[in-house]
A and B are shown apart, each in its own frame.
Chain A
Amino acid sequence: MSLSAKQAVIGILGFLFLLSLVFVQYTEVTRRRAEAGIGEVHVIVPDSSKACVDCHVQSTPAIIDHWKSSNHATTGVGCYECHLADPKDADSFDHYGKSIATIVTPRDCARCHQQVFDEFEASHHAAAGNILASLDNFLAETVEGARMPFAPHSPTPGDSVDMVNGGASVAVGCMQCHGSKVAIEGTDGSLITMDELAPDENGQPTNLDAVAKILRTDDGRPVFHASTWPNTGIGRLNLDGSAGSCSACHSRHDFSPRRARQPENCGKCHLGPDHPQKEIYEESKHGVAYRDLKDEMNLNGKEWVLGEDYSQAPTCATCHMSGHMRNGGKVTHDPGERISWTNRPPISLRMDTDINGAVIKEKDPAVRRELVADTWQAKRQRMKDVCSHCHTSTYLNGFYKQYDDFVVLYNEKFAKPGTMIMDALKTNGLITAKQFDEEIEWTWFYLWHHEGRRARHGASMMAPDYAHWHGMYEVAERFYQELIPQAREHADHAEEEGETEAANAVRKVIDDILARPEHAWFENE
Chain B
Amino acid sequence: MSDERPPEETDSGRRGLMTGSLMAAGLLTSYGAAGAIGARYLFPSGPGKRAWLFVARADELADGASVSYRSPSGQRVAIARQGLSGKVEDFVALSSTCPHLGCQVHWEAVNARFFCPCHNGTFDPAGLPTGGPPKEANQALPQFPLKIESGLLYIEVPVETLGGATAMQLDDTPPSPGAGHDPCLGPDCCGGELA
Contacts and interface: CB of A to CB of B under 8 A. Distances in A.
B51 A44 contact: yes
Nearest to A2: B9
Most chain B C-beta atoms within 10 Å of own C-beta, residue among A7, A54, A96:
A7
Most chain B C-beta atoms within 10 Å of own C-beta, residue among A4, A22, A59, A98:
A4
A45 B169 CA distance: 11
Contacts, number: 143
Contacts of A44: 51, 53, 72, 159, 166-167
A3 interface: yes
Contacts of A4: 11, 15-16, 19-20
Contact of B54 (A8, A54, A77): A77
A12 interface: yes
A94 to B, nearest CB: 9
Contacts of B57: 111-112
A112 B154 CA distance: 12
B51 A47 contact: no
Contacts of B23: 7-8, 10-11, 14
B70 A75 contact: no
A47 B184 contact: no
A81 B195 contact: no
Interface residues of A, number: 49
A48 interface: yes
A18 B151 contact: no
B74 interface: yes
B19 A11 contact: yes
Contacts of A96: 192, 194-195
A41 to B, nearest CB: 9
B51 A42 contact: yes
Interface in B134-167: 150-152, 154, 159, 166-167
Interface string A44-62: 1111101101110111010
A9 B78 CA distance: 65
B3 interface: no
B62 interface: no
A55 B33 contact: no
Contacts of A51: 194-195
A17 interface: yes
B194 A54 contact: yes
A interface SS class: helix
A13 interface: yes
A107 to B, nearest CB: 13
Contacts of B54: 46, 75-77, 81, 112
Nearest to B33: A21
A74 interface: yes
Given A58-B176, A59-B183, A77-B54, A21 B34 contact: yes
A98 B22 CA distance: 75
Contact of B182 (A7, A45, A58): A58
B164 to A, nearest CB: 12
Given A21-B37, A75-B53, A112-B57, A46 B72 contact: yes
Nearest to A47: B70
Interface residues of B, number: 56
A33 to B, nearest CB: 13
A58 B190 CA distance: 13
A219 to B, nearest CB: 10
Interface stretch (B24-32, B98-106, B107-115, B119-127): B24-32
A61 B34 CA distance: 50
Interface in A234-269: none
A18 B25 CA distance: 11
A13 B71 contact: no
B168 interface: yes
Most chain A C-beta atoms within 10 Å of own C-beta, residue among B23, B49, B150:
B23
A15 to B, nearest CB: 5
A73 B25 CA distance: 55
A45 B167 contact: yes
Contacts of A77: 54
Given A15-B29, A57-B173, A74 B51 contact: yes
B108 to A, nearest CB: 22
B194 A55 contact: yes
B26 A42 contact: no
A43 B194 contact: no
A122 B60 CA distance: 24
Most chain A C-beta atoms within 10 Å of own C-beta, residue among B30, B52, B175:
B30
B9 to A, nearest CB: 5
A355 interface: no
Contacts of A58: 176, 181-183
A73 B54 CA distance: 10
Interface in A61-104: 61, 64, 68, 73-77, 81, 96-98
A3 B9 CA distance: 7
Nearest to A77: B54
A64 B170 contact: yes
B42 interface: no
Given A73-B167, A76-B51, 18 more contacts: A2-B11, A3-B9, A4-B11, A4-B19, A8-B22, A11-B22, A21-B37, A25-B37, A42-B159, A42-B166, A43-B168, A46-B72, A47-B74, A75-B51, A75-B52, A76-B154, A96-B192, A112-B150
11 contacts: A8-B23, A14-B26, A14-B28, A14-B30, A21-B34, A22-B33, A43-B170, A44-B53, A47-B71, A48-B70, A98-B195
List the 9 closest pairs (A to B, CB-CB), nearest first: A14-B26, A76-B53, A11-B22, A97-B195, A47-B70, A11-B26, A17-B30, A7-B19, A96-B195
